[in-house]
Amino acid sequence: MIITVTDDLAACHALRRAVFIEEQGIAEPDEWDDLDGQAVHFLVLDDAQPVATARLIPAGDFGKVGRICVLPSHRGAGLGAALVRHAVDHCRATPGVTRVFLSAQAHAIPFYERLGFVPDGVDYDDAGIPHRDMWLSL
């Protein structure tokens, strides 16, 4: 499987719809925002079939990783971690970027801690799901 930077927003949106809207029950207005146009989108393909995605939004001295999702059929294979590492590497290669931010679903905090992210603050509600901010210094 290969992780690529993509302009194929339809594929990314289809994955996000399947995972966030259909599986997790997030309302459409909470999923879709106006940030996709300024984001770098990553896509994982398995035999030309999109199976995972994430986006990275530049924000001054940090990059914000989000909308990380993997189809249920491909979970447990390390794709989520590979996507996060890929986004972090992209940040490292960007001049002036010194940190990476993400808003983690609370149940996924240990996953992101294993990737070097540190929780910041307390849990808050985002689209009906508890989240916590996390940071990684580069």
Cα separation of the two ends of the chain: 26
> What local confidence, expressed as pLDDT, does residue 1 receive?
82
Structural domains in the chain, CATH included, are 2-137 (3.40.630.30)
d(CA 108, CA 91): 21
pTM of the entire structure?
0.94
Residue-level pLDDT, tens digit, the chain, 138 residues:
889 999 999 999 999 999 999 999 999 999 999 999 999 999 999 999 999 999 999 999 999 999 999 999 999 999 999 999 999 999 999 999 999 999 999 999 999 999 999 999 999 999 999 999 999 999
